[in-house]
Amino acid sequence: MLTGKIARMAEIEVGHALKNVIQKMEQALQKRPKTLPQIPPRLVAVSKTKSAEMIITAYQSGQHHFGENYIQELEHKGNDSNILEQCKEIKWHFIGNLQRNKINKLLNTPNLFMVETVDSLKLATALNKACQKRETPLSVMVQINTSAEEAKNGCPPDQANEIVRNIREHCPNLKFEGLMTIGSFNHDLSKGPNPDFQKLIECRKNICEEFQLNPENLHLSMGMSNDFEHAIEVGSSSVRVGSLIFGARQYTDKAKGDNPETNNDIK
C-alpha cells in the first residue's frame, strides 16, 4: 500500500501524466480531417499490474475508464473494497484474450462496462448466454486482426460482418459498440498512415453500409501509448494507454493470473 510522501508523489505523477495524455488527445483531435467522424476520443487507462491505490489515484484525477488484460487480475481489482468504495462510477474494459470457459469469472467483476475482444461467433454466443441475468446488455466490440499476425488475436477482416450480424440479431444481452484492433507495433509514419488502422476504418465502412449504421455511432478502438495520437488523427474514438500514465510495468506470474496466453499486450 502506498502511504505518506510516496502516496503523494504517486498522486502528483499520475495526475500530471493523465493531464498530458488528455492534452495530447485534444491536440490530435484538432488535426483530424473534418471529413472523418468527429467522435470525441475516450481514454481507457490500462492498469494491468498496477495497484488498487494507483487506480484510485487516477480515478480521483478524473479518469473513469480502465482496461485490464487478465481475468483474474480484473476480478480481483473489480472486487477490491477500496476501489468499490472510492470509485463508484468506474468502468472496466476487458481488453485481453477471452476464453469461453472463463466468461463467468469475468462477469463476476462489478462495474464491468465493456468487452473489447469478441472475435468469434462461438464467443459472442457464449457471452450472450452468460449475460442473461444482467440488468442491461453488456457493451462489446469485435476485435479484428488487421495485421494478419499469427501472434495477434482477433478475427480476419472478412469475418467481421458475420460476427456483427450474429451479435445484432441473435445476442440480445450484448450491445455492439464498435471495432477494436491491436495492429502492428512501431509503424514508421514517414511511410504513411498505419495500414492496420486504415484496415479497421475500412471494416467500419463495410459494416455501416451492410447494416445501415451511422459511422458517428460506431466506435473504433485503436491506438496505444506509442501511437495514440496518430490513431486519433485518423479516426480512433477510443485509445488504450497504460505506461504513459502509470509508468513501466513489472510482470509477475500473479499479475498474469489464469490467462497467460493472451496476445493482446496493451501498452
Nine cell digits for residue 204: 467500419
pLDDT at site 183: 78
| Structural domains of the chain ordered from first start | 4-256 (3.20.20.10)
End-to-end CA distance of the chain: 24
The answer to whether residue 253 scores a pLDDT higher than 60 is: no
137, exposed or middle or buried, with CB in 10 Å at 0-12, 13-18, 19+?
Answer: middle
Q: What is the pLDDT of residues 149-197, one digit of tens each?
A: 888 899 999 999 999 999 999 999 999 999 999 977 777 777 888 999 9
Query: Is the overall model pTM greater than 0.85, yes or no?
Result: yes
pLDDT of 219 higher than 50: yes
Closest CA to 53 of 1, 89, 111: 1
Kind and range of the H or E run holding 190: none
Strands (E), 119-229: 138-143, 174-180, 219-221
Q: Cα dihedral sign for 93, 173, 107, 164?
A: negative
Q: What is the pLDDT of residue 10?
A: 63
Backbone angles phi, psi at 48, to 5 degrees: -60, 140
Q: For residue 126, is pLDDT > 70?
A: yes
Output the pLDDT for position 66.
98
* Gyration radius of the chain over CA positions: 18
pLDDT > 70? residue 49: yes
**Each residue's pLDDT tens digit, 92-117:** 999 999 999 999 999 999 999 999 99
Which regions of 35-172 does DSSP assign to beta strands (E)? 42-46, 65-68, 91-94, 112-118, 138-143
Q: Give me the phi and psi of 68, to 5 degrees please.
A: -130, 145
What's the grid cell of residue 46?
490500462
* Angstrom distance (rounded) from CA 87 to CA 64: 8
Q: Binning pLDDT at 50, 70 and 90, where does residue 250 land?
A: low
pLDDT for 128 beyond 50: yes
